[in-house]
Amino acid sequence: MGLLHASGSDRGTPGGDQINWDRIFAALDHIHYQGDIVIESFTPDVKIIAKAASIWRVIEPSKESIAVDGLHFLKSLAF
């Protein structure tokens, strides 16, 4: 069991970045990963978290787009 935090290399939505997600999902499939995959991204809306995570600009248009676009992308890779 495990928990994978999926985040773009720019802290944005998975899939709109430079990470080789195909290789990550191939490795997860190889080890028969059955744990959860969650999207971890940030917005500058919560100032204390934005400061701690060095988020100084808007990375994605909205929290909703992170969830919808990220879920769509991750499901396209699901094993």
Which pLDDT belongs to residue 29?
A: 95
Specify the length of the chain in residues. Answer: 79
CA distance 67 to 47: 20
pTM of the model: 0.82
Mean pLDDT for each 10-residue chunk of the chain (79 residues)?
90 92 96 94 84 86 91 91
Task: Phi first, then psi: give them for residue 37, nearest 5 degrees.
Answer: -125, 125
Which pLDDT belongs to residue 76?
A: 96
CA distance 13 to 10: 8
